[in-house]
Amino acid sequence: MVDVLLAIDVGNTNTIFAVYDPGDGRRVLTARASSQRDRMPDEWYAILAPVLASARIAPRDLTAVIISSVVPSITRWITQMGTERLRVAPVVVNIGLDLGIRVLIDNPAEAGTDRIVNAIAARHKYGCPAIVVDLGTATNFDVVTKEGDYAGGAIAPGLIISFEALASRAARLFAVELKLPAHAIGTNTTTAIQSGVVMGYLAMIEGMLQRISAEMDGTPVVVITGGYAELFAHHSQMIDVADPDLTTDGLLLVHQRLVAQE
């Protein structure tokens, strides 16, 4: 029987649930919840069940669960939810599994599984070499070589962390809508913050892409993903594609590989 897969991407800020059709691997549901660390298994189930119901999916229809997580406590509770409420033993992605990609960094165990999964998805969907820019709590730049290996990358403070640090430390500055302004020269406090924070962040992304690309063999395809991907995707000629579902699609690929090995 082909599995009905629940793929779960646990980040520091948000947790993403995606369900994939057993026939063609099509994504039929995507939902997001905050990554609350003390949320118990029954609470996670209370969030998931109505989301499944909205897509006419019964919890008993799920036959496989795969998890990528950077938050150990949430990993534990969601794994318990899968085992006790869904009656499925989740697979938690880790470097010890045969993921089908070589991890070339100094200590492969240090690599976040989301970064590895993103590299797998980018390689499969867009080819090699590639750079994945993942805009989450942190912003990750992840490199896939032309041979299809994961070569490392860079980690920067996320957009929201940068913005909140500015607003909390400067008494006369305040929260504004995070959008790209029309001009770099702000003519009031709002547009000045938007220029410095949002346009400045785009400049950081482009600068890092330029430096990383210069160290790579071949011209990489640049894929941007994460919560604020759309904010930047259409405002830079250096970004080739925005793919908000890259991580869960990578989890699908990992699941398919592991099943094929059985």
Q: To which H or E segment does residue 54 belong?
A: helix 41-54
Instruction: For 62-115, write each residue's pLDDT tens digit.
Output: 999 999 999 999 999 999 999 999 999 999 999 999 999 999 999 999 999 999
Three-class secondary structure of residue 182 per DSSP = coil
Architecture of domain 5-92: 2-Layer Sandwich (3.30)
Task: Reply yes or no: is the peptide bond before residue 129 cis, omega within 30 of 0.
Answer: yes
Q: Decide if pLDDT at 50 tops 50.
A: yes
Query: Which whole-number Å values give the CA distances from 17 to 36, 91, 160, 181, 252, in the listed order?
Result: 14, 14, 22, 32, 12
The residue ranges of DSSP E strands in the chain, in sequence order, are: 5-10, 14-20, 27-34, 64-69, 91-92, 130-135, 138-144, 150-157, 221-226, 241-242
The DSSP string of 29-45 is: EEEEEE--TT--HHHHH
Instruction: For 188-239, write each residue's pLDDT tens digit.
Output: 988 999 999 999 999 999 999 999 999 999 999 999 999 889 889 989 999 9
What CATH fold (topology level) applies to the domain 126-246? Nucleotidyltransferase; domain 5 (3.30.420)
pTM recorded for the entire structure = 0.93
Q: What pLDDT is recorded for position 227?
A: 84
The ranges of the chain annotated as CATH 3.30.420.40 are 5-92, 126-246
Closest CA to 147 of 205, 217, 202, 212: 217
| Pairing outcome for strands 14-20 and 5-10 | antiparallel
Q: Which residues are catalytic?
A: 114
**Cβ-Cβ contacts under 8 Å for 24 (sequence gap 6 or more):** none
